[in-house]
Structure 1
């Protein structure tokens, strides 16, 4: 199994998962033209895609889903709550995901995991094939017991570290937006992410081999702040990458 992060942040998100004969696009907050440009940079084309999965209806995740689905006749998978959003528009073929559903698309098994975020029915995904379990976990305000249990056996993670608490407090956002970002239905801070990884290591030592930090805020965080928070808790055996908004993180083998 391989994956590539085409972009990660508040101005557009899209991730490619491929295994065997199956290639999935998870979210698309980019225009069709921009998606094609980013795919081309990693030697991939929209014609290689088999389906689109959507985590929730915020525009940085769903904005380009409808147009790409229609133009390239791609089926789309999402929860009923997400599908009810006016931001989606028409799609080629809509498949409704029951939260906590376990299903397969081609060669990839998919587990939908409900999360706490300020959207109608948000979920994140764990992709598996054989012994490989690749978890995507962004856009949530807290890691509850059910989420931790679902991701405990992941061998690779694309994980949110959205904001540094001090930078958010001092930053340019209005008070209401700061409360939203830092609230229970917002995003994970560097500290929360470090706590999650520390518990993951203590409960499942040696399981996690690959870590991609994602959805790092351009205004309320820095890569240096994320590294400083995670360095004490990430084992030396864990390979680390940092996804960015403007630059594509090319294909990586999931462990």
Structure 2
């Protein structure tokens, strides 16, 4: 199993996960043309996809989902609440997800995990294949005991490090947006992300990728300073960016 990112940030998000026999796209916040371009950079085309999974209905995660699904005739999986977006639930391509329940999608065991975020019925995902587990965890405002229980035994993590608290406090956002981003239903700050690792089997983690970094309220250096001390090997720590995401990472 391996994973890669087409891009990560407030301007668009999409993650690829593949095995020997399948390829999943998690979220698609880009146009069809841009998605095709970014997938080509990773040696893939939308025609290689088995399905699209959606975490929630915010535009930087969902705006390209239905156009891509229609063009390439792909099934789309989301929660029932997320599927209220743009009539998705009425589309022939849509498939419902039962949250916190393991489902088989293209030969991969997928668990959609409930998270606190200001969307209709948001979730994040755990993927398991051949006894290897990949956890995707972005777009949530707090680390709950429920999340700690689900993400404690992963072999790789894609983990939101959205903002640095002091930078957000003095940054350019209006007060209402600062409250939203920094609240329990907003986005994880660097220290919150780092705290998740206290519940993880850290020696098992082959990769930790810091994702969804704010271009206004964070830097990769600040995120790394918070997260790296919680890891046994800082070489396992990478960051995703908006333009280039990150290249394929193998989970051995």
1:240–1:63 CA distance, 2 compared to 1 (3 A): same
Task: Give per-residue Cα distances to partners, 1:88-120, cap 9 Å, x unaligned.
Answer: 597451100011121111221101100000000
In the alignment, does 2:208 pair up with 1:211?
Answer: yes
Partner of 1:126: 126
Moved more, 90-99 or 115-124: 90-99
User: 1:99 matched to which residue of 2?
Assistant: 99
Q: Is structure 2 residue 245 aligned with structure 1 residue 253? A: no
Q: Which residue of 1 aligns with 2:170?
A: 170
SS of residue matched to 1:3: strand
Alignment of 1:167-246 (within 5 A): 167-197=167-197, 199-201=198-200, 204-236=201-233, 239-246=236-243
**Structure-1 separation of matches of 2:238 and 2:228:** 13
The answer to which structure has the higher helix fraction is: 2
Q: Give yes or no for contact 1:63–1:87 (8 Å, CA) kept in 2.
A: no
Return the alpha-carbon distance in structure 2 between the equivalents of residues 76 and 231 of structure 1: 35
User: By how many angstroms is 1:248 displaced?
Assistant: 3.4
Q: Distance in 1 between matches of 2:149 and 2:213?
A: 24
- Judge conservation of contact 2:55–2:122 (CA < 8 Å) in 1: yes
CA displacement at 1:177 relative to structure 2: 0.3
Question: Which runs of 5 or more residues in structure 1 are unaligned?
Answer: none
Query: Whole-Å Cα distance in 1 between the matches of residues 187 and 43 of structure 2?
Result: 32
Change (3 A) 1:68 1:89: farther
More divergent stretch after superposition (226-235 vs 176-185):
226-235
In the TM superposition, 1:75-90 aligns within 5 A as 75-86=75-86, 88=88
Give the TM-score of the pair, scaled to structure 1: 0.95
The 2-side partners of 1:10 and 1:89 are apart by 25
Q: Provide the aligned length of Structure 1 versus Structure 2.
A: 252
Gaps of 5+ in 2: none
Counterparts of 1:205 and 1:136 in 2: how far apart (Å)? 16
Q: Cα RMSD between the aligned structures?
A: 1.5
> Residues 155 and 238 from structure 1, CA distance in 2 versus in 1: closer, same or farther, beyond 3 angstroms?
farther
Q: What SS does structure 2 have at the residue aligned with 1:101?
A: coil
Q: Which residue of 1 aligns with 2:33?
A: 33
- Tell me how far apart the structure 2 counterparts of residues 224 and 93 of structure 1 sit (CA, whole Å): 41
Structure 2 Cα separation of the partners of residues 167 and 225 of structure 1: 10
Tell whether the 8 Å contact from 2:110 to 2:127 is kept in structure 1 after alignment.
Answer: yes
